[in-house]
Structure 1
Amino acid sequence: MLKEKIIKELNNFKNENRFRILKTINSNSINLSSNDYIGLGNDSDLIQDFYKNYTHLPLSSSSSRLISGTYPLIDKLERNLENIYKKPALFFNSGFDCNCCVIETFCDSNTLVISDKLNHASIHDGIIHSGATLLRYRHLDLEHLRKILKNNSNKYETILVISETIYSMDGDCVDLKKLIDLKKEFNFLLMIDEAHSFAVHSFGMCYEMDCLEFVDFLTIPLGKGGGSTGSYLICDQIYKDYIINKGRKFIYTTALPPVNIAWNLFILEKMESFSDKRLKLKELTTVSHKLIKKYNMETLSTTHIISIIIGNNSKLDHIVEYLSSKNYFIYGVKEPTVPKGTSRIRIGLSPNLSVENITTFFEELNYAINNVF
């Protein structure tokens, strides 16, 4: 019965043109789907420099952090983070585990979690696991958030508000100052995810805006602009101690190998030297948005992440296939990742691309949107 149920569901996915498969990228393709936003993960000079500094590192930690997985490199990484952010830091193996663990560890049935409607799946899963009451505010609509806070501020023992800085699917950005102003007014706990702003904004938008004292839980997943793997959590010592003692996804996970931690430490120590990469990304972002306006394409993006709304799943498949034939690796995003009827081309810019790459790509994309289907 289980297999029959699964077969039926997979056939429905195929009929609706939303059946997903794994694809490998051709090394000769121009990659417009990477999340390596400032080009750290594939910088051959940077990698060569890293291996000059760090040689013969173990490829496994072979233990959780509470046993022998807190080795000197990971301790040094957390101490360096504390020097930068002026708050205690804790390292997690992934952004998903970090977000999920924070929420399920600190929230319970007496908690109200108010979450942006488009927050990441890791955030949603953490809320479900916690047993907290969930209310969602319209995406980036902080006036709607204000109304929810006003109606609920005296009803719960704890209120946690969660937002990302830059959003992965729409490429839009929270008004962080306004969100902090709401925290000052209503005195809720605030959790911010910087997965798509870290490195693009140096040590992150919260750091740049000098508002870290108002962020109770700052999560910094490293698989995007960080060019690596794992996640930082920046929080007060009491919260750090509690996770070490109660956070299941932290306690029962084997620590990442020293080679990964050394790379994170290496990148962190060099973060302020990547200004040229950030300037190149800014240039490409400006060029891209001018071309989007020129070709009258539909997007909500204001950042280096650009989603071009197509809407029709079958048309999206044809466009992706056409662009692939022109040697562009590009990812088409469909429901349930995005709402039904908003399937899209998702572009992740990086300084590995040139202005010519971007200009030619948008010419081809414009042709495909208007002529392929």
Structure 2
Amino acid sequence: MVQNDKFTFIESALTERVQSQRLRSLQPLQPIDVVHVARSGQVLLNFSSNDYLGLSKHPTLIAAAQQYTEQYGTGATASRLVSGTYEIHQNLEEKLALACGREAALLFNSGFQANSTILAALLDRQSLVLCDRYVHNSLLQGILASGARFKRYAHNDLHQLEAALQQAQQNYSRILIVTETVFSMDGDCSDLDGLIDLAERYDAILYLDDAHAVGVLGQAGMGLAAHRAGVDLVVGTFGKAFGAFGAFVTCSRKLCDYLINCCPGFIYTTALPPAVIGAIEAALLLMPTLESERQFLRQQSNRLRTELQALGYDTGASSSQIIPVLLGTEEKTLSLSRWLDKQGILATAIRPPTVAAGTARIRLALSSCHTPEHLDSLVAAICIWDNINH
């Protein structure tokens, strides 16, 4: 009897990716400074990093990470409920809660882990989730894992969201509204006032992913959802503007206690290592002092959007440091990305299934360490490519 190769599905999947120009591969880089990397001997100006304030190379964070390693060791050695909760973990959570104007905070090991496991812990099969169509994959994974019923409303369309809330008259165990404050692929923002109003009027739990706002926007840079009454649960990350690693959730004390006892992704994983805690502590201390950097980042983002739009490019509804250059097809997007690469600029092509079919793009992510001259180089390179291809 002839048996089929048990891994033919892999060959089929990879072949399909090649044919649709969606095959991805890892490209190792060597960081040089905040906005420059080296790859295969070439120095590239990086417009694809989430290091929005340049803190990953900040000497204060590096020194704190080294100090915490010397004092506490390289690993936390256990999960939080066993013996992995050091005083430094708890102290950091208290400081985060205070900085965000919340009763409690809880550390997680990554934003993906937080979203995919917290939602599964909050929901059951009798729950209903209403989520924005553009939410991050980690949120979708958490919803799917829960087995809850879910509906996706049109992007930032609160009229459609309210219509779905009005129709949700069944005996659901609970209703969650799930969205992001700054959308990772489009750089636009949610209407927080409208979301809070709907959640309160329809008695829904409001869950916000604040990952790309934390450090950049809001009071003292602690995110758009910080200090906002009516928001039930906020997830933030440290791997972006904080320049470190890991994630956190802020919420009520009771909800925090529930997650400590009922959230598998928190219960069954080793705690964040001391070096990471040290770096986060240092970044948190710096945050209130970085308003000029945040203002400069906003100015640079506004300038780049204006110049790209003047060239005829669609930057969507972006209003943040994330600026998509919407090109539509995979072929065109890859062409621009490769051209920029030859000009010494790293600007990664974002293709389906990360974004919807027909919306392939270059996703530009700015840092406060990008200079006006860096933006000039980027715009000039895009302008040349545009002239060559039109």
Confirm or deny a common fold (TM above 0.5): yes
The answer as to 2:82 corresponding to 1:67 is yes
1:120 pairs with one of 136, 140, 151: 136
Q: What RMSD over aligned residues (CA atoms) do the two structures have, in Å?
A: 1.6
Distance 2:184 2:62 in 1: 30
Deviations 1:202-231 (A, max 9, x none): 011122xx41x3111111122111211111
1:159 aligns to 2:175 (yes or no): yes
How far 1:155 moved relative to its partner? 3.8
Matched, 1:46 2:42: no
Instruction: Note the alpha carbon deviations across 1:104-131, whole angstroms, 9 max, x for none.
Output: 1110011101011111111101111111
Aligned residues: 369
Q: In the alignment, what sits opposite 1:241?
A: 257
Instruction: Report SS of the residue matched to 2:156.
Output: coil
Q: Per-residue deviation at 1:157?
A: 2.3
Distance 2:327 2:311 in 1: 14
| Residue equivalent to 2:367 | 350
The structural deviation recorded for 1:3 is 2.1
Aligned runs of 1:182-201 on 2, under 5 Å?
A: 182-201=198-217
- Partner-residue secondary structure (3-state), 2:82: coil
Contact 1:222 1:228 in 2 (8 A): yes
- In structure 2, C-alpha distance between the alignment counterparts of 1:120 and 1:80, rounded to whole Å: 27
Q: Is the 8 A contact 1:39 1:277 kept in 2?
A: no
Deviation, 1:91, is 0.6
Contact kept in structure 2, 1:318 and 1:372, CA below 8 Å:
no
Structure 2 letter corresponding to 1:369: D
3-state SS of the aligned residue for 2:18? helix
Q: What is the aligned partner in structure 1 of residue 357 from structure 2?
A: 340
Shift of residue 314, structure 1, vs aligned partner: 1.8
Q: Could you tell me which residue of structure 1 aligns to residue 225 of structure 2?
A: 206
Unaligned runs of 5+ in 1: none
Q: Deviations over 1:283-335 (max 9, x none)?
A: 21121011022111012122210110111212222211111111001100000
Deviation at 1:62, TM superposition (A): 1.1
CA-to-partner distance for each residue in 1:271-293, whole Å, 9 max, x for gaps? 10111211220121121011022
1:137-148 to 2 correspondence within 5 Å?
A: 137-148=153-164
Q: Is the alpha carbon distance of 1:47 and 1:233 closer, same or farther for their aligned partners in structure 2, counting shifts above 3 Å? A: closer
1:361 is matched with: 378
Change (3 A) 1:217 1:86: closer
Q: Distance in 2 between matches of 1:153 and 1:79?
A: 39
Counterpart-to-counterpart distance in 1, 2:351 and 2:297: 26
Match of 1:329 among 346, 359, 367: 346
Q: Secondary structure at the match of 2:324?
A: strand
Task: Judge which range, 21-30 or 73-82, deviates more.
Answer: 21-30
8 Å Cα contact 2:65-2:278 kept in structure 1? no
Residue equivalent to 1:223: 239
The 1-side partners of 2:210 and 2:65 are apart by 28
| 1:221/1:252 CA distance change after superposition, 3 Å | same
User: Superposition pairs for residues 127-142 of structure 1, below 5 Å?
Assistant: 127-142=143-158
Q: 1:241 Cα shift? A: 1.5
C-alpha distance in structure 2 between counterparts of 1:196 and 1:173, whole Å = 10
TM-score scaled to structure 2, two decimals?
0.91
- CA deviations 1:55-96 (Å, max 9, x no partner) are 614111110001111001101101112322231111111111
Instruction: Pick the aligned partner of 1:11 from 9, 15, 21.
Output: 15
Q: Distance in 2 between matches of 1:47 and 1:103?
A: 31
Supply the distance in 1 between the matched residues of 2:102 and 2:345 (Cα, whole angstroms). Answer: 43
C-alpha displacement of 1:372: 4.3
Give percent identity, aligned residues only.
32
Choose which of 70, 81, 84 in structure 2 pairs with 1:56: 70
Mapped to 1, the partners of 2:309 and 2:148 lie a distance apart of 43
2:35 paired with 1:21: no
State the one-letter code of the partner of 2:120. Answer: E
Partner residue, 1:97: 113
Q: 1:225 to 1:48 in 2, by over 3 A?
A: closer
Distance in 1, matches of 2:65 and 2:212, equals 27
Deviates more, 1:196-205 or 1:57-66: 57-66
1:34 aligns with 2:53: no
SS at match of 2:7: helix
Distance 1:134 1:370, change over 3 A: farther
* Unpaired segments ≥5 residues, structure 2: 30-36
Q: Structure 2 CA distance, aligned partners of 1:178 and 1:246?
A: 30
In structure 2, do the counterparts of structure 1 residues 153 and 235 end up closer, same or farther at CA, with 3 Å as the change threshold? farther
C-alpha separation between the residues in 1 aligned to 2:319 and 2:387? 23
C-alpha separation in 2, matches of 1:136 and 1:10:
29
Offset, 1:48: 5.1
Relative to structure 1, the CA distance from residue 6 to residue 96 in structure 2 (aligned partners, 3 Å threshold; closer, same or farther) is: same
CA displacement at 1:154 relative to structure 2: 4.8
User: Matched residue of 1:178: which SS?
Assistant: helix
Cα distance in 2 for partners of 1:243, 1:55 equals: 28
| Aligned partner of 2:289 among 262, 267, 273 | 273
Tell me the SS of whatever aligns to 2:55: coil
Q: Measure, in 1, the Cα distance between the counterparts of 2:135 and 2:246.
A: 19
Q: Which residue pairs with 2:324 in the alignment?
A: 307
- Alignment-mate amino acid for residue 8 of structure 1: S
Counterpart of 1:109 in structure 2 is 125
Contact kept, 8 Å, 1:38 with 1:278, in 2: the verdict is yes
The reply on whether 1:294 has 2:310 as its aligned counterpart is yes
